[in-house]
Chains A and B, each alone.
Chain A
Amino acid sequence: AQSVTQPDIHITVSEGASLELRCNYSYGATPYLFWYVQSPGQGLQLLLKYFSGDTLVQGIKGFEAEFKRSQSSFNLRKPSVHWSDAAEYFCAVGPNAGNNRKLIWGLGTSLAVNP
């Protein structure tokens, strides 16, 4: 069955510390991979995506993610967290072919940032 697992429901880090949010997926073929961020009361904003090529992808707001095929993982990282990064983070995977582009979503990781 297709699924996305974000093992950490909630993470708290100190401002300036590094961050890694985990995402593991189960999918029949190599999917397209996405990370979205949702600030309180806001819609979802695309942080970054992986389609093919270099397995380390750069996104907005200083985030990056690494696709590891052998581990079926797409972990999100940031070297130094800012207080404004406090939000909900969602990993999603989708098919790389066909017209039905349904994304499979993780349940999200809530990030809190201590001053």
Chain B
Amino acid sequence: EAGVAQSPRYKIIEKRQSVAFWCNPISGHATLYWYQQILGQGPKLLIQFQNNGVVDDSQLPKDRFSAERLKGVDSTLKIQPAKLEDSAVYLCASSQRVGGGPNEQYFGPGTRLTVT
């Protein structure tokens, strides 16, 4: 079974530029998560999709961050314009269940973003 795929693995941009990250979850997983992980911290949930609908985006800085999952499969996360404090690893995860029961999340390798 293929894992969660993410690209690119690394990205360096200047502040005020835009950037996009792509994620392809494990086949059949209904729920997709985007996390931001700043060095030395635990992951912070940015947005959670269930199929192609948003379940939770309460911590997404909506003035600059956007995400979509149009067909309920892969997803893109965009930052426009980037700030220095956006430098972090962006992790994508997926889980199988929609409702009821345990729901472990499986993570991709992440995209390391450096904003200069």
Q: Which residues of A contact B (CB under 8 A)?
A: 32, 34, 36, 41-46, 49, 51, 90, 92, 94, 96-103, 105-108
Contacts and interface: CB of A to CB of B under 8 A. Distances in A.
B14 interface: no
15 contacts: A42-B109, A43-B6, A43-B110, A44-B93, A44-B107, A49-B102, A94-B103, A97-B100, A100-B48, A100-B56, A101-B48, A102-B56, A103-B45, A105-B43, A108-B40
Contacts of B40: 107-108
B105 A100 contact: no
B42 A46 contact: no
A96 B110 CA distance: 27
Interface of B: 4, 6, 31, 40-45, 48, 50, 55-56, 91, 93, 95, 98-100, 102-110, 112
A67 B21 CA distance: 37
B70 to A, nearest CB: 20
Given A34-B104, A43-B109, A45-B107, A99 B42 contact: no
Nearest to A110: B40
Given A94-B103, A108-B42, A99 B108 contact: no
Contact of A101 (B103, B106, B109): B103
Contacts of B107: 36, 43-45
Contact of A102 (B42, B48, B109): B48
Given A105-B43, A107-B41, A108-B42, A100 B103 contact: no
User: Which residue among A98, A103, A105, A108 has the maximum number of chain B CB atoms within 10 Å of its CB?
Assistant: A103
A80 to B, nearest CB: 26
A67 to B, nearest CB: 14
A100 B103 CA distance: 10
B4 A43 contact: yes
Contacts of B93: 44
